[in-house]
């Protein structure tokens, strides 16, 4: 398609307007769409092109209601369905998935956007005993994707726009890999460093994408992409201390770092979710930044794209959550 130059400054609304035919009449599920964040901005942007249904998965309706209100301010007729799920609790995720599967009004899901995350938080274990960042960004999405896969497969088929699973990662994947013998730091909690753990969680997002494509693409036509949305001031920064925030501010003022608006930040998610041209641009493309495929090691570590590590993480994830993810 022509008419848009994808890059750093591209905004989500530009992408949606350019690809409105890939939005209209389709069903999208987005995790973590709380007010002010990328998930919310993604959903609000999609509302401008008449999707059939937006399924918003979050901890509580009170956190998501402002996003629902913003969607209806764009178009009051858009169907929005809220599903409560706490991604730090696998039982909560399974219950949410069961509600989605049992809901006759959700006949299929065209695009799943695994967006929810927590960044650089103090050391904490979830109710299931997993490190908070790894559980929220990866294990919760691993279980959710597994259980709602029948709804995604119901969307896939010849002659239809491609069904996609989008995993919102970050260049934070370069900060640390998978701790294969101790992913939750339970054996050596003294080794916990918030940014190392964030790196592990974001690496897991990319490896999950690699493994999904190996299993799903040829057999079902479902494609998965991972991405770096950019540096953006969102509620995700709530655990950043004053010293680190000041460092970021100084780097921006000196021109050493560029920050995006949330509209610019959601653009890469939306291109990954919508654009059929991506299939032509890179058949083996996995990771996007600034709305373009990249293998720049400063943005995506080679280990995050490693097929053997992707298989190893799949097996580890199955072991940790106590269930197989099979087609």
* Active site residue ranges: 169, 198, 202
Q: Are strands 27-31 and 53-58 parallel, antiparallel or unpaired?
A: parallel
DSSP 165-215: EEEE--GGGGG----TT-TT-SS-GGG--HHHHHHHHHHHHHHHHHHHHHH
Q: What are phi and psi of 311, to 5 degrees?
A: -70, -40
What gap in Å lies between CA 240 and CA 19, rounded to an integer? 36
Residue 265 C-beta-side C-alpha neighbours within 13 Å: 23
3-state secondary structure of 57: strand
What gap in Å lies between CA 64 and CA 249, rounded to an integer? 29
User: Taking Cα atoms as reference points, which of 201, 233, 230 lies closest to residue 289?
Assistant: 230
Enumerate residues 6+ apart whose C-beta is below 8 A from 160. Answer: none
User: Taking Cα atoms as reference points, which of 157, 171, 164, 173 lies closest to residue 113?
Assistant: 164
What gap in Å lies between CA 210 and CA 198, rounded to an integer? 19
Token pair of 271 as six digits: 């291109």
Helix (H) or strand (E) run with residue 56 in it:
strand 53-58
What gap in Å lies between CA 206 and CA 51, rounded to an integer? 27
Q: What is the CA radius of gyration of the chain?
A: 18
Q: Which residues pair with 24 in a beta bridge?
A: none
């Amino acid at each position: 398609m022509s008419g848009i130059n994808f890059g750093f400054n591209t905004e989500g609304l530009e992408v949606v307007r350019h690809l409105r035919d890939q939005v209209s009449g389709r069903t999208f599920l987005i995790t973590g769409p709380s007010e002010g964040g990328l998930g919310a901005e993604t959903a609000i942007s999609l509302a401008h092109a008449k999707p059939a249904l937006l399924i918003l998965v979050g901890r509580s309706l009170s956190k998501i209601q402002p996003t629902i209100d913003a969607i209806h301010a764009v178009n009051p007729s858009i169907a929005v369905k809220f599903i409560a799920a706490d991604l730090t609790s696998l039982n909560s995720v399974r219950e949410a998935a069961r509600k989605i599967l049992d809901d006759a009004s959700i006949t299929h899901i065209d695009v799943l956007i695994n967006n929810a995350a927590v960044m650089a938080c103090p050391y904490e274990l979830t109710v299931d005993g997993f490190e908070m960042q790894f559980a929220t960004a990866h294990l919760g999405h691993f279980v959710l994707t597994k259980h709602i896969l029948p709804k995604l497969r119901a969307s896939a088929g010849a002659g239809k726009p491609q069904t996609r699973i989008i995993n919102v990662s970050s260049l934070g994947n370069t900060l640390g890999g998978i701790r294969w013998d101790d992913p939750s730091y339970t054996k050596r909690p003294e080794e916990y460093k918030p940014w190392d753990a964030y790196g592990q969680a974001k690496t897991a997002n990319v490896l999950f994408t690699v493994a999904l494509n190996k299993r799903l693409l040829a057999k079902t036509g479902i494609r998965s992409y991972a991405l770096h949305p950019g540096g953006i001031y969102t509620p995700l920064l709530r655990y950043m201390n004053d010293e680190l925030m000041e460092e970021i501010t100084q780097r921006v003022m000196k021109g050493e770092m560029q920050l995006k608006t949330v509209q610019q930040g959601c653009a890469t998610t939306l291109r990954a979710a919508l654009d059929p041209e991506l299939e032509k641009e890179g058949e083996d493309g996995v990771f996007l930044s600034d709305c373009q495929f990249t293998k720049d090691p400063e943005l995506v570590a080679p280990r995050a794209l490693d097929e053997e590590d992707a298989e190893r993480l799949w097996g580890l994830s199955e072991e940790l959550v106590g269930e197989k993810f099979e087609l």
